Amino acid sequence: MTSTSKQSALESEVVSICQDLIRIPSVNFGEGRGDERAVAEYVVASLKEVGIDSTIYESATNRCNVIARIKGTDSSRPGIVVHGHLDVVPANASDWSVDPFSAEIKDGMIWGRGAVDMKNVDAMILAIVRDWKRNGYQPSRDIVLAFFADEEAGMTFGSRWMTAEHPEVFAGCTEAISEVGGFSVTVAGGKRLYFIEAAQKGIHWMKLTALGRAGHGSMMNEENALTAISEAVSKIGKHQWPQRYTKTVKILFQKIAEATGKPFNADDLRPLLKEIGPTERMIGATLQNTANPTMLEAGYKANVIPGSASAVIDGRFLPGFEDELNETIRSIIGPDISIETISRDIALEVDFEGDLVEAMCDAILKFDPEAIPVPYLMSGGTDNKALSELGIVGYGFSPLQLPADLDFMALFHGVDERVPVSGLHFGVNVLKDFLENA
């Protein structure tokens, strides 16, 4: 088989595997209600078919993680973890223009829940290692394949459980790659920047509770818990957070300025946001801490003033600015409203340099010679947070070349989630080249 036909076979298989994975509804409803059993068994069977052994680690009933280790030719080299998650967020079929679990191909895209988050990457990983096994290729270093459960609901039954209960499966690994990195963003003049995730914000989800005096809705009441929580939520939602620029953010915006010919003002990077189109919504959130009200809970009858009222705040902090987030929230709401932590996780930031980063950049440039690889800080989080607790340095590198007019960020957890077939072809070739040279 020629190199061209091998590449074509790889591209064909990544599409079919991606469709297979989407058609398995591994929905995570949160609060422990998820089921990755069927999709995990698919992964195991896909690996077994070409002679790769893997193991399912079940953290709770049907909460399944899959681990496989591919031995490298040089066991003295540190290993790399290549990981994805198997769960997806729910999808309301009535909101979609296609069945969200059909994996239909139309308009040059694969449509379905998980198409970008992140069964496309799971498919790339499977297609690459199956290709290696068929062709007798062995990577130079050990590669641990990890397909985690529960990434979409705090990682409790997935990477957090695996790193706490089975750290031995990652033994000898020092680096990792996973989702939301290596995707293209087209700027002025048609130049393509490829955003590689080198940092991510930390998480502090908090429940605020105000206590008051319960009573009849027709009477005067100056201790209304609903009024107190509403005022606190309004203040938080309208708070203007100060700009805080990390090293990753500064590098990214310098590259944006160079690519577009626009001025770079180190004291205020916001004018450059408009140069990156819809990606501005996510990147704008990485210039400051954020705290968004997301839930309210109070009352049970129209004429009863409740004795308590609560709100949930989604707080995200930049690397190095967790204390600022927490102290600011406390100062905004005052001493009479309690704060309960629902979930908290670390921020990450690693250097955009070294052999691994060079291999990422080289792989992208091989398939897009005009590419401009850049680091970025992600507003959300990934399973790299859990692996970092084991000293494993992680990046987001799941390459995709995207149409210039595609609002990629809107597809994450969005209606009509879809991934370009051509982008998937590009990604699997880039990722394969990277893994063979990392």
Render each residue's pLDDT in the chain as its tens digit; 438 residues: 666 767 789 999 999 999 999 999 999 999 899 999 999 999 999 999 999 999 999 999 999 999 999 999 998 999 999 999 999 999 999 999 999 999 999 999 999 999 999 999 999 999 999 999 999 999 999 999 999 999 998 899 999 999 999 999 999 999 999 999 999 999 988 999 999 999 999 999 999 999 999 999 999 999 999 999 999 999 999 999 999 999 999 999 999 999 999 999 999 999 999 999 999 999 999 999 999 999 999 999 999 999 999 999 999 999 999 999 999 999 999 999 999 999 899 999 999 999 999 999 999 999 999 999 999 999 999 999 999 999 999 999 999 999 999 999 899 999 999 999 999 999 999 999 999 999
Based on the fold, state whether residues 275 and 323 are members of the same structural domain: yes
Based on the fold, state whether residues 170 and 212 are members of the same structural domain: no
In CATH, what number is assigned to the domain containing residue 9?
A: 3.40.630.10
Last residue of a domain, one of 317, 345, 373: 345
Q: Is residue 318 assigned to a domain? A: yes
Residues 419, 105 contacting (CB under 8 angstroms)? no
Is the overall model pTM greater than 0.75, yes or no? yes
Map tokens 């955009």 to a residue. Answer: 352
In this structure, what are the phi and psi dihedrals at residue 290, rounded to the nearest 5 degrees? -135, 155
Domain residue limits at 207: 199-345
In CATH, what number is assigned to the domain containing residue 255?
A: 3.30.70.360
Instruction: Give the chain's domain count.
Output: 2
Q: Is residue 335 assigned to a domain? A: yes
Based on the fold, state whether residues 264 and 125 are members of the same structural domain: no
How do 202-211 and 290-298 pair as beta strands?
unpaired
Q: Is residue 424 assigned to a domain? A: yes
3-state secondary structure of 227: helix
What does each C-alpha distance from 289 to 181, 229, 324, 329, 347 come to in angstroms?
21, 21, 8, 11, 11
The tokens describing 107, both together, are 């308009």
Q: Would you say how long the chain is, in residues?
A: 438
Contacts by 38-47, CB closer than 8 A, 24 or more apart = 39/64, 39/86, 40/64, 40/65, 40/66, 40/86, 40/147, 40/149, 43/86, 43/122, 43/126, 43/147, 46/17, 46/126, 46/130, 47/126, 47/129, 47/130, 47/145
Based on the fold, state whether residues 96 and 175 are members of the same structural domain: yes
Q: How many CB atoms lie within 10 A of CB 137?
A: 12
Which residues on neighbouring strands pair with residue 344, listed in sequence order? 204
Burial per residue of 227-265, b for 16 or more beta-carbon CB atoms within 10 angstroms, e otherwise: ebbbebbeebeeeebeebbbebbebbbebbbebbebeee
Residues 366, 161 contacting (CB under 8 angstroms)? no
The tokens describing 3, both together, are 């190199």
How do 192-200 and 183-186 pair as beta strands?
antiparallel
Closest CA to 86 of 53, 132, 125: 125
Residues 6+ apart with CB under 8 A from 220: none
Q: Is residue 390 assigned to a domain? A: yes
